[in-house]
Chain A
Amino acid sequence: MSTTNTVTTTAVSVQNVRKVYQRDSIQIKVLDGINLEVQQGEFVALMGPSGSGKTTLLNLIAGIDRVTSGKVVVAGTDLTPLSEGELAKWRSRNIGFIFQFYNLIPVLNAVENVELPLLLTPLSGRERRERAMTALRIVGLEDRAKHYPRQLSGGQEQRVAIARAVVTDPTVLVADEPTGDLDHQSAEEILTLMETFNKEFHKTILMVTHDPRAAAKARIQHHLDKGVLSN
């Protein structure tokens, strides 16, 4: 997958995707024929009202949910036919996740949280620790390596989460309202950090947000409404 990855310049290709949730006898059409292309190195903001299916679309692209019909190709891999296990493996290599509520593991300290995705690689303990420390340094929290999530502010937690997202050097970063739980100042820091990863490390970023200021940081903005995408 990483070889195809270098050949194509398309990082994400969503083709005619429909997503229907079945609740008892009721069918909820969340996405209705979505088409989306994201080139490598782009920073894309997905906007739209609450309940419009932003998270659902992001989940499909990140390989943690499945389309009802259509096709999702990310980092050169068609996700549609993959099994759960194959998807898990694929995620661990290609996607970095940033959540609204950080989702750090409370019993692990900052550096252990950052190290977590590396546990699935064949790296040695020392190599893992070194990489995790490097990632923490990039987000400016090297001195907080031994702090536990509850000892960190929201903004710091989110920076640790970003370090965790980038530590495996994934192709695509997905962020679902990464500033949704933060004050203005922290949000600004997080957005700057994401910009840095996009510009300096050429990470493709897909960010869901309904904060116009956040969306302004992205180079491309898409609007999702009633299951249909518009620019």
Chain B
Amino acid sequence: MKFAPLILKHLRKNWIRTLSTVLAMAVCIFLICTLQTVVDAVNYGLHLGNASRLVTRHYVSLVFNLPNNYEAKIAAVTGVKNITIVTWFGGMYRGDLKYFFPNLAVEPEKFLAIYPEIMLPEDQKQAWFHDGRGCIIGRKLAEKWGWKVGDAFQLESFIPPYRVGKPFEFVIDGIYDTDLVKYPATDLTAMYFNYKYLYEATGEKTGVGTLTELIDDPSHAGAISKAIDAEFENSDTQTKTETEQQFIAGFVAMAGNLALLLNGIGLAVAFTILLVTANTMSIAVRERQQEIGVLKTLGFPSGLVMALILVEALLLGAMGGALGLLLAGGAIRVLPSVPYIGDVVRQFPGLGLSSRIVTYGLGTALLLGLLAGFVPALLAYRARITEVLRQL
């Protein structure tokens, strides 16, 4: 493009202005893309659940357990095909939250029947069914700690009723995998053990955290949920039943709200950058009245003069966008290994700078450049030679 030197030399001549605008743009695109990636991960989490599974919990809060006799009552509700206890144990490896991985107390046989995505060799399944202190762990968790079948480890819960004075001891009976094509969202970092162990170790006093039901028809989910909750309407402990999807949705709603807030921040930053860039461009163009007059005098069509300014603004956007994406890509790669933040981020499978977000980030940068350059370019388009060059 033969006009490139003119554009590039302007950017280079005012390199401080160019650099600061590009950096501001880069920070903006970095923020937007990183935030959007996290938002995407959260939204992806919303689809983790299965519509043919319902989750029943304490009406007031997840913090409270349900009575043990609820399981049988719910199993009797029409449409419920199977049911298992799923209780969040809150066990900390090495007694430190830093080494946290999800660990849940379940009923092994029913649990595996309800969760086909948890895939185990038959012998490991049988071993687990018959081992009171046995557990199964996900492939990724096993790889992380170098654990093999037969290894033992201890967990200490941070939940007061489960703190029984000594850590729980577990033996690994199986390492589960999944079919990532069919069940891409399956968590391979979790650990499941027999609820009976928890029940007995706590002196048979603990209730169940949640109950997961497999139902005969996902389209009846609403009706069956209502039927289950109706069962306990007049009891001391009322329940709240929803599909696993809704349950997860509620679980990440807080994160979702946070995402909304973060997106709002991103939008505000983008708007600020728009103003900064628009200012840069209008100063640049105002300083260039003489040049615009000369170009037009020499016969440059007004449209070309306008295009030169738009391209300059687009270039600022493109450079800022590219740099911002580079930063975002780096941050997203580093994020999972950052202490604490990493623990949260790792929960979202497939975290990465998707092509959609790259497009989105670059598009935003170019749009910001275009918007910023539009008014100055239009003024240049309209500028009359006799007015910008009073002296021929």
Give the B-binding residues of A (Cβ under 8 A).
Answer: 55, 58-59, 62, 64-65, 84-85, 88-93, 97, 99-101, 103, 105-108, 112, 116-117, 119-120, 125, 128, 164, 174, 176-177, 208
What residues on A are CB-neighbors of B112 within 8 Å?
none
- CB <8 Å contact, B2 and A59: no
Instruction: Give bound CA distance, A106 to B293, whole Å.
Output: 14
Q: Which of A64, A85, A164 contacts B301 (CB 8 A)?
A: A85
User: A89-B299, A92-B299, A117-B298 are known contacts. Are A107 and B13 too (CB-CB below 8 A)?
Assistant: yes
- CB <8 Å contact, A91 and B9: no
- CB <8 Å contact, A59 and B392: yes
**Which of B64-72, B360-368, B383-391 participates in binding chain A?**
B383-391
Given contacts A88-B301, A100-B391, 14 further A-B contacts (CB under 8 A): A64-B296, A65-B386, A91-B299, A99-B391, A100-B392, A103-B294, A107-B6, A107-B12, A112-B5, A117-B299, A125-B2, A128-B2, A164-B298, A174-B392
What residues on A are CB-neighbors of B293 within 8 Å?
103
Instruction: List 9 A–B pairs whose Cβ atoms lie within 8 Å, in order of A's numbering.
Output: A55-B392, A64-B296, A85-B301, A88-B299, A91-B298, A108-B6, A117-B299, A119-B2, A177-B391
User: A64-B392, A176-B392 are known contacts. Are A59 and B299 too (CB-CB below 8 A)?
Assistant: no
User: A85-B301, A88-B299 are known contacts. Are A59 and B386 too (CB-CB below 8 A)?
Assistant: yes
What residues on A are CB-neighbors of B385 within 8 Å?
59, 64-65
Q: Which of B10, B298, B389, B392 contacts A116 (CB 8 A)?
A: B298
Q: Write the nearest CB–CB distance from A77 to chain B, whole angstroms.
A: 14
Query: Max chain B CB contacts within 10 Å: which of A84, A89, A100, A128?
Result: A84
Q: Write the nearest CB–CB distance from A98 to chain B, whole angstroms.
A: 9
- CB <8 Å contact, B299 and A120: yes
Q: Which partner residue on chain A sits nearest B390 by CB separation?
A: A55
Q: Which partner residue on chain B sits nearest A104 by CB separation?
A: B294
- CB <8 Å contact, B389 and A108: no
B302 at the A/B interface (Cβ < 8 Å)? Answer: yes
Q: Write the nearest CB–CB distance from A162 to chain B, whole angstroms.
A: 14
- CB <8 Å contact, B298 and A120: yes
User: A97-B392, A105-B6, A107-B13 are known contacts. Are A64 and B298 too (CB-CB below 8 A)?
Assistant: no
B290 at the A/B interface (Cβ < 8 Å)? Answer: yes
Instruction: Give bound CA distance, A116 to B9, whole Å.
Output: 14
B233 at the A/B interface (Cβ < 8 Å)? Answer: no
What residues on A are CB-neighbors of B297 within 8 Å?
62, 64, 91, 97
- CB <8 Å contact, B391 and A119: no
> Which residues 272-325 in B have Cβ within 8 Å of A in the complex?
290-291, 293-302
- CB <8 Å contact, B296 and A99: no
User: A88-B300, A88-B302, A89-B299 are known contacts. Are A108 and B392 too (CB-CB below 8 A)?
Assistant: no
Q: Write the nearest CB–CB distance from B295 to chain A, whole angstroms.
A: 8
> Which residues 9-44 in B have Cβ within 8 Å of A in the complex?
9-10, 12-13
DSSP majority for the A interface?
A: helix
- CB <8 Å contact, A107 and B391: no
Instruction: Give bound CA distance, A99 to B291, whole Å.
Output: 13
Instruction: Give bound CA distance, A59 to B9, whole Å.
Output: 30
What residues on B are CB-neighbors of A107 within 8 Å?
6, 9-10, 12-13
Instruction: Give bound CA distance, A72 to B9, whole Å.
Output: 38
Q: Write the nearest CB–CB distance from B21 to chain A, whole angstroms.
A: 17
- CB <8 Å contact, A62 and B392: yes
- CB <8 Å contact, A108 and B301: no
Q: Write the nearest CB–CB distance from B297 to chain A, whole angstroms.
A: 6
Instruction: Give bound CA distance, A116 to B10, whole Å.
Output: 15
Q: Which partner residue on chain A sits nearest B302 by CB separation?
A: A84
What residues on B are CB-neighbors of A65 within 8 Å?
385-386
Q: Which of A84, A90, A93, A119 contacts B3 (CB 8 A)?
A: A119
Instruction: Give bound CA distance, A91 to B296, whole Å.
Output: 9
What residues on B are CB-neighbors of A108 within 8 Å?
5-6, 9
Instruction: Give bound CA distance, A97 to B5, whole Å.
Output: 22
Instruction: Give bound CA distance, A208 to B13, whole Å.
Output: 34
Instruction: Give bound CA distance, A207 to B5, whole Å.
Output: 32
User: A108-B5, A119-B2 are known contacts. Are A97 and B391 too (CB-CB below 8 A)?
Assistant: no
What residues on B are CB-neighbors of A99 within 8 Å?
389, 391-392
Q: Which partner residue on chain A sits nearest B14 by CB separation?
A: A107
Instruction: Give bound CA distance, A85 to B294, whole Å.
Output: 15
Instruction: Give bound CA distance, A58 to B392, whole Å.
Output: 8
Q: Write the nearest CB–CB distance from B187 to chain A, whole angstroms.
A: 58
Q: Write the nearest CB–CB distance from A182 to chain B, whole angstroms.
A: 14
Q: Write the nearest CB–CB distance from A164 to chain B, whole angstroms.
A: 8
What residues on A are CB-neighbors of B301 within 8 Å?
85, 88-89
Q: Write the nearest CB–CB distance from B379 to chain A, whole angstroms.
A: 16
Q: Write the nearest CB–CB distance from A126 to chain B, whole angstroms.
A: 12
Q: Which of B13, B299, B391 contacts A101 (CB 8 A)?
A: B391
What residues on A are CB-neighbors of B295 within 8 Å?
116
What residues on B are CB-neighbors of A176 within 8 Å?
391-392
What residues on B are CB-neighbors of A55 within 8 Å?
391-392
Instruction: Give bound CA distance, A174 to B296, whole Å.
Output: 15
